[in-house]
Every structure is written in C-alpha cells, then in structure tokens.
Structure 1
Amino acid sequence: MFSAKDLVFIKERGSDLNTVKEQIKNFENGFPFLEVIQAATVGKGIIQLDGSHVDEFVHFFEHQLEKGISLLKFVPASGAASRMFKDLYAAVDQLENGASEAEVTQNEAIQTFFDQLTDFAFYADLEKTANKPIDQLSKLEILKLVLTESGLNYGNLPKGLLKFHQYNEKSRTPFEEHAVEGALYAKDKDGRVKIHFTVSPEHQEAFETHLKEVQNTYQQAFEVSYEITFSQQKPTTDTIAVDMQNEPFRNDDNSLLFRPGGHGALLDNLNDLNADLIFIKNIDNVVPDYLKGETVKYKKALAGLLLNYQKRIFSYQQVLDERHYTALDSKFYSEASSFLENVLNVKPPTNQYYSEKEELYHYLKQKFNRPIRVCGIVKNEGEPGGGPFWAKNADDSISLQIAESVQVDLSDKQQQNIVQNATHFNPVDLVCGTKNYKGESYDLLKYRDPKTGFISYKSKDGKELKAQELPGLWNGAMADWNTLFVEVPILTFNPVKTVNDLLRKEHQPD
C-alpha cells in the first residue's frame, strides 16, 4: 500500500504510520453511529436558571476571580470567509456569463444586498476603494470590489478580519469584538486578558498586523493588558484521503493526499493551553456593545456554575485519590454516586450497580477525574448544527453529549424521532475546566471518542475521494468530559453565516 517514498513523506509530515493505517480502517469499516437515548430538555439534562441563580453564579465567579484564578478565551477563527459570500460569487458568475442585472437581482439575497449596501459596516471602506462614486458602478464592479484583491478582498479574508459592526465613524471586526468581550468577562484580577485565536497559516500575519493596529486602543479604553496569541491547526492532525476503493488517494505527482481534519483537530491546540477556566466561542458570534450585556452576564454565570460544581468534584477527586476504597463508608459512596448520576447526569451501564466496593471505587474515580465543561444551550429556532442529547458512551454508560445530525442514524425511525423532538441547539458557548484538584492539566486527547469521526465525499483534480474528519471539538473530542447544559438567552447567539446576516438588527447600530 505504501512505498518507501510514501513512508518518508509520512514521517516528514510528523504523521504516524499506525495512525494512518487506522484512518484507512475507518474508511473501510465506517464510523459507528452514536446512539442517542433521548433529547436533553429543561429539567431533564438542561439547567434553567432564574434571575437570582444567575446573579448568584456571577457573584461566585467574581469572588473566585479575586482569589487569582487564571482565565483564557479560546476562539476558533475560520479560514477564508468565501462561504459567507456564496450568493455574491454566484451573481458574479451569472453577470460574467451574460445575465442582466435585472435577472441577477431576482435572487432575493442579491436584491437585499444591493438595497441595503450602505448599511454594511464595510461600506465606507468600499467607497474609499472605488475609483468613482458607488452609484456610478455596475453591480458586477461592486461585487468584485467586495470580493477580490482589486477592492476589499473579502472573499479571501477570514471572518475575523471583516468589518462587522459600525460605531459612528468607526467600525469593528469580530477580532476586535472578541477583544472587547474578553475585557468584560475574561479579565483576571491583575487586569490581564488572555485570548488565543486559532488561524490559518496564510492569515496569521494579517491577524498579527491587525492586532498591532488596535491593541493599544482597547487596552486604554478598558484599562487592561492583552496577551493575545495565535496558533495554527497542526499538520500532524491532517487525515489521509482515499479513493472510492479505500486506497490512498494519489495526487497527479503520485504523492499521498492529506487533508485538514476539521475543527476537531483544534483539540491539540486547546491541549497546549494552560488556564483554570477556558471560554470557547466561535469567531462570528459577536454583537455590538449595546447588546453585549446579556452575553457578559451569562458567560460569568456559566463560569460561576462550573466553579461551584467543580469545587465539589474536586473534593471527591481528593478523597478517592488519597484514601483506600476500604476506608470509605457507605455514606460516602452513596453521596458520590448520587452526585455523579443526578447532578452530573452520568448514568452507569444498564444493569450495572457496582455492588462491590472496589468496583464502585474505581468507577467513581474514573468518572470524577475528567475535564468538565458547561455548555450554554439555546432554544432551537431552526439553525443547522448539533444539539444536546442523552447518549450511550463506549463503556455503555449514559451521559450528556452534544451530537451532530451526521453522528446519528436518521434512517432509524426511533433515532430520527429523538432528534426531531430536540428542543435546544448548541451555539458553541462553552466554559471549560481542564485541570484536576491538584492544578494539573488533563491530557485532553485521552478524553475524546475516536469512533465519533465522520467521512465526507469530495473531489480533487476531477477525481472523487473520501475525506475523514476527526471527532468534532465540542462533540466527539469532548465525549468523555463531565458535561452540564445550561439554557442561555437566544440573544447571546448571533452567528454570521452569510453576508446578509450582518443586516439583522442584532448586527446593526442601536
């Protein structure tokens, strides 16, 4: 299957031959579906906080901050934002192939784009780039000014560097909005704000340049000092591609093709970071200042809830670590088991009651000694993506998981009904605790489920291929974490998937 040249190539990439062979086995055998037991709902896996509880957890978080806990904001920043401009690219193609402007604007998205062009935060930049007034340009010229290097080049830039929001005479990128958010809820007691962005190699220099342009402005405005760092998806997390017969896909020069392993590859980047609390949020889920209040409040509340629950988890970790199973009485076992099952929502394997003390001791020790995450969950309003479920794990225990639809066997009527009855959605709003009671960081790679990757179909150079994505960062990559779901207001979820999403009132000036 592999030549001597292939083996050298694999080694030079920093890849491991056994891992590559395992990936090919995954293509051959496929990934098993995740068995969802039921949708997580309010009172059955999803915590719903009233106002007093929100305030209580915010206060607890702020009190812990005074004690000196370290914070970090982790932002997966995308590659080029080309998908955000899919409709614009289609319009360019039509116009270049002879379609009239009237024909192109029959597409409602294109008509809206031109009708509200002046409402985009990047409009002022568009005017500066144009060699004559915008109203004297053809629609094709305007589209090219937005998308290509002759203008703003937005089709080739990452979302983090696009102008999203207008503030009087100034505008902000998502990068800047995350810096502002960081100052509002991720500032430590010494006034430091640590933010880590994962970026594409071709965009890191542009991010670093943007940071130099804006850092002092926000440091002075919020009286903080920023420690902003970047990393790239590691080539060692790329996965091999195969042809339709599951043989390694060959490029025209006969070399092997490796492809990025999806956002699950960022688990390696996350694993390299060191903080007591890590906030995770997507690059495009930001709002103007006048709407930030709810986001900040609930971020602090989620963090306070995690710290509150983690305090008790740490107490169990320490007892189980320091005392022999025979030295613990039945009251301890009963309380610890109840907390694990009824608060952390980890149900033991069916018909497994761990009647022997030693068995129960090892089970509890394993389940408590894991990273913890609190996931903000919003009511489902039809957005695509994963949701909160009760699911069966590799050891047959049942716990809370974020599941993507691709992970579930939707040809099974029962599984399909469970997914259709889901009431909530995962907006990627996480607070994570990645250390044990001793302050030692977990090796996060040990807590993912390798069987939760998935296979997609692509093409290259006119040839079909199969690609493999690693377990997703917030689903399979965190499958073996202790997980809590908390309902947060829908207002805290405002992603930008298409350019016209920037016209929603949540992204417009007050």
Structure 2
Amino acid sequence: MHAFSATEEAQILAHGANVSSIENQLKNFSTGFPFLELDRPATQGDGITKLTTEQVDQFVASYDRSSTGKKLVKFVPASGAATRMFKELFEYVATDELNSGTQHFISGLENFAFYEELKNYLQVQGYELDDLLDSKNYKAIASALLDENGLGYGKLPKGLLAFHNEKGVIKTPIEEHLVEGAKYASQNGLVRLHFTVSTEHQQKFESKLSDVIPIYEASLGVKYEVSFSQQKKSTDTIAVDLANAPVKDNGHLLFRPAGHGALLENLNDLDADVIFVKNIDNVVPDHLKEDTITYKKALASLLLSFQNDSFSWQERMANGEDCYVEILDSLRSKYGIELNIGDSNELKNYLNRPIRVCGMVENTGEPGGGPFWVKGEHVATLQIVETAQIDMNNDEQVAILKKSSHFNPVDLVCGVKNFEGKKFDLLQYRDNKTGFITQKSKNGHDLKAMELPGLWNGAMADWITLFVEVPISTFNPVKTVNDLLKPTHQ
C-alpha cells in the first residue's frame, strides 16, 4: 500500500477528500471490483411489470390527486461537453480521411436544426455553404461547426446544442426539458428543475434560460424554479499508473471525475418528495412527447401508490399491529414483489428504504445496462447491471446476459423520504463494492481511472426497485450527431 507523505496528505485534504477513502481506492485498484453474480434476467412477469392500457389510464388519472402536496423535482445530469457526439467529424478534420459518419452528416446537412445558423456563420466569414458542398470542402464546414472560433459545438454541452426545428423554432435539449417538466412535474403551476452542469458551462446555461424561460412560462402557463449543481471535487477519484501507484501532474496528485455515480451526492442534497431522473439528450419534439408524458405520470403514480401503501404498513407495524402476512400478500399480488423474509423486523427494514420505479424498454440492440436479478448474501435483488460488471469469461453468466429482454433507458422516478417525512441519506444505500476501472492516458502516459458505483447501478443497489416496461418511443438518445437525423428528432 502506498504511504502518503505529509505533502500528499495535504493535497488530498485540499481536494475535499480524506486519506482513508483514497487508501480504499488504491486497494480497489489493486484488487479490482468483483463481478456481480447474475441469477437470471428480469423479464416480463418476473421482475418487470407490463401495465395494461387500463392500468396506465388509471395511474395517469390518479396522478394529480396522488401528487398533491408532494414536492416534485426533475433532475437532469447535463455536465460534460458534447465532444463524443462529433467523434467522426473530429477524426475527419484531423486526418482528412472522409469516414462514413461524416458522409452521413454531409448528406443530411439541411435537416439539422443548426443548418441555418451554420450557413449564416459561413456567409459572415465570406463562404457560401453551397459552394463548399459543391467543391467537397467538407473540412471547412465541419470546422465551422466544431471550432471554438466558429459555432463551438465541439466544446459546448449537449444541453445547449440546437437539437430540433419545430416549424422554424429552434430548440435545445434544455428547452425540451422545460416543456417536459411543465407537462408532468408541475405542482400548482410551479415547475422545479435541477441540472448538474460543469462550472465552465453554468453561465451559458443561465444565459440561455434567462432568454427562454419567459417565453415558456407565458406559453405553458407555469413558473419555473431552476437550480444547478456541479459534480463535487470531493467525489473525484485518484489516478494511478499501470502498477497502481498514484500519478502526479506537476508535482500534485492527479484526481479525475468519478463518473455519473458521483452525482448521488447531488441527488442526496435535493429537498424533494419525488424526483424524476432523465438524461439531457433523451428528448423529442413536442409532437412526439405524448408517450413520454403519459408514462412519466404512470411511473410516478405507481411510485406514490407503493409509497402510500408502504407508509401505511410501517405506521401500523410501528403501532404494534401484526400485519406481516397481509403485507407480504399485498406486495406479491399488487406489486409483484416476492420476499423471502423471516419476521416483521426484517420486513420493517426492507420497507424503510428509498424507492425507485424504473422504466425499461424492450431490447433492440442499443448499448446500455439492463435489468437483472442479482444474487445477494441472502436473496436475489433487482438491479440495473452494466456489461462491464459481468464476468464475460463465465459461460453461465454470459448465457444469462444473452437471455436479457430489456435494457435501461435511464427513466427513473425516485421516492427519497421515509414514512415519517424525513429524507433518507442516500449514501447509505450504495453498494461500495461496485465500480468501474478504466484505462486512460495523460500526457502520453497510460494510467488507470476509477468510477464510483453508477448512479442507477451500484449507487441505488439497496433501494426498493420496481421495473416497468415503457414503450421504445420514450427512448430517443442522441449519442452521435447523426442521431438527430432519425425521424424521432425531425
């Protein structure tokens, strides 16, 4: 184990961390994180509920009543630049080798929401876009879009890019989330949204919102309360070389952001009863929002129904009532939760935890984690599992993976208060034995980096989990710029 010098310990403390946590990280680098042991895939009727049309309608109809008096917040991770969105364009600019992604981009250029802005910028610079296309000077077009001196899309966050053109009105993802929030997260006309952003981008977000919020408040008849937070430096993890020794940069220990799992602390800081979680890039134009709004309300209504039952059961047990058998029967028949629990005390401990209802879509080959039953110390539990957490050299585990029928679109509704109205400390329900180790480079040298348990993976491992099938129409992420050419973004 590395022995930290007094100078190094001071650097750790200055970063907001503590020496023991960094020592644990070094231990994890040496030992690695154990693979999860899959028991079976969560499937329809075995861990995943498929609501009937009638049930969806009932949940939606009861949503406004069941959410009355609850503080609702829409939580959107929105930090990080959109660099990976333009990976193939960057490669083309750097190498002059025309790849298929750039060809697709050029062929669909007129259909991007940023087309007119790009065209106008080039004109100001003395170029006609049509002339550049005719002469196949695609490099000038890509550079104008990406470069900081141009439109700067290569360094802007996804939330501020022009995603959609709706009858001549250009909309960014952050605006689409404003509209979504008004449709399912409004409480007495007040819509609360929280965005996690990087420090360098927050001012740009605030400037954009100051321009557009008055427009949406007037058109949608709501008021917005928007807050921001940054991924905390104290959650950064130490970087090591390939021999697991701490890496230094200009004499200082090198720390790196610990992935979206670090946002558990941001989520934990929110004061809310119900929190909707959705990624910044999973948005669609208004004419395609109906399914999203319907199922967000249905998921939230299901959560509130479960919470209402759970709180009632816990109050009854706290008052000495023997309702153990009744509760187990209700969990099984109403929510599909089969518990192997020996007594009332175990049942109390099970119920007194944060709750999440997660939308799951049928597997269509999209990358991402999936829902599984994972073996635990005593019983199998429902978890969202990434492929990196599975031992791909174990034929039995691979066979279970291949039987998976659904994947995770990051569509969560969270209940984070107990039956007495007190907030849970969400950090107490994280599985610290999970995480990810990846290989990176810095100044030409290989190093290893560590991510904390993912926000919807290990960070929520000990929550009560309900999986519900949602239609594929609610999942429309933009991972590459060419995804914006799909019909769901036109």
TM-score (structure 1 length as normaliser):
0.92
Which has the larger displacement, 339-348 or 30-39? 339-348
Q: Which residue of 1 aligns with 2:364?
A: 381
Q: Secondary structure at the match of 1:31?
A: coil
Q: Which residue of 2 aligns with 1:277?
A: 274
Q: How does 1:344-383 map to 2 (within 5 A)?
A: 345=337, 347-348=339-340, 354=342, 360-383=343-366
In structure 2, what is the Cα distance between the partners aligned to 1:320 and 1:460?
A: 56
Q: CA deviation at 1:337?
A: 3.2
In structure 2, what is the Cα distance between the partners aligned to 1:372 and 1:24?
A: 32
In structure 1, what is the Cα distance between the partners aligned to 2:101 and 2:347?
A: 54
Q: CA deviation at 1:438?
A: 1.5
In structure 1, what is the Cα distance between the partners aligned to 2:331 and 2:254?
A: 44
In structure 2, what is the Cα distance between the partners aligned to 1:181 and 1:38?
A: 35
Q: How does 1:289-304 map to 2 (within 5 A)?
A: 289-304=286-301
Amino acid at match of 1:336: I
In structure 2, what is the Cα distance between the partners aligned to 1:17 and 1:319?
A: 44
Q: CA deviation at 1:68?
A: 2.1
Q: CA deviation at 1:404?
A: 0.6
Q: Which residue of 1 aligns with 2:325?
A: 334
Q: CA deviation at 1:366?
A: 1.1
In structure 2, what is the Cα distance between the partners aligned to 1:390 and 1:404?
A: 13
Q: CA deviation at 1:111?
A: 1.5
Amino acid at match of 2:163: F
In structure 2, what is the Cα distance between the partners aligned to 1:447 and 1:197?
A: 23
Q: Which residue of 2 aligns with 1:36?
A: 38
In structure 1, what is the Cα distance between the partners aligned to 2:318 and 2:388?
A: 39
Q: Which of 302, 307, 316 is the equivalent residue of 1:305?
A: 302
Q: Secondary structure at the match of 1:269?
A: helix
Q: How does 1:76-475 map to 2 (within 5 A)?
A: 76-95=77-96, 99=97, 104=98, 107-130=99-122, 131=125, 132-137=127-132, 138-188=137-187, 190-251=188-249, 253-323=250-320, 328-329=321-322, 332-340=323-331, 343=335, 345=337, 347-348=339-340, 354=342, 360-393=343-376, 395-475=377-457
Distance 1:446 1:311, change over 3 A: same
Query: Is this contact kept in 2: 1:346–1:399, CA < 8 A?
Result: no
Amino-acid identity (%): 53
Q: CA deviation at 1:221?
A: 0.6
Q: Which of 6, 21, 24 is the equivalent residue of 1:22?
A: 24
Query: Is this contact kept in 1: 2:328–2:339, CA < 8 A?
Result: no
Q: Secondary structure at the match of 1:450?
A: coil
Q: CA deviation at 1:150?
A: 2.4
Q: CA deviation at 1:213?
A: 1.0
In structure 2, what is the Cα distance between the partners aligned to 1:113 and 1:371?
A: 44
Q: CA deviation at 1:243?
A: 1.4
In structure 1, what is the Cα distance between the partners aligned to 2:402 and 2:382?
A: 17
Q: CA deviation at 1:319?
A: 2.6
The superposition leaves residues 2-23 of structure 1 with CA deviations (integer Å, 9 ceiling, x where unpaired) of 1111111111111111111111
Q: Which residue of 2 aligns with 1:7?
A: 9
Query: Is this contact kept in 1: 2:328–2:338, CA < 8 A?
Result: no
Q: CA deviation at 1:63?
A: 1.3
Query: Is this contact kept in 2: 1:346–1:397, CA < 8 A?
Result: no
Question: Which residues of structure 2 form unaligned runs of 5+?
Answer: none
Q: CA deviation at 1:415?
A: 0.6
Q: CA deviation at 1:344?
A: 5.8
Q: Secondary structure at the match of 1:472?
A: coil
Amino acid at match of 2:89: L
The superposition leaves residues 155-176 of structure 1 with CA deviations (integer Å, 9 ceiling, x where unpaired) of 0001000000002222000000
Which has the larger displacement, 299-308 or 395-404? 395-404
Q: Secondary structure at the match of 2:17?
A: coil
In structure 2, what is the Cα distance between the partners aligned to 1:144 and 1:42?
A: 47
In structure 2, what is the Cα distance between the partners aligned to 1:448 and 1:486?
A: 22
Query: Is this contact kept in 2: 1:372–1:481, CA < 8 A?
Result: yes
Q: CA deviation at 1:341?
A: 5.9
In structure 2, what is the Cα distance between the partners aligned to 1:301 and 1:441?
A: 23
User: Which runs of 4 or more aligned residues in structure 1 lie more than 6 Å from their structure 2 counterparts after TM superposition?
Assistant: none
Distance 1:398 1:242, change over 3 A: same
Amino acid at match of 1:46: I
RMSD over aligned CA atoms reads: 1.3
In structure 2, what is the Cα distance between the partners aligned to 1:344 and 1:27?
A: 39
Query: Is this contact kept in 2: 1:378–1:424, CA < 8 A?
Result: yes
Query: Is this contact kept in 1: 2:369–2:384, CA < 8 A?
Result: yes
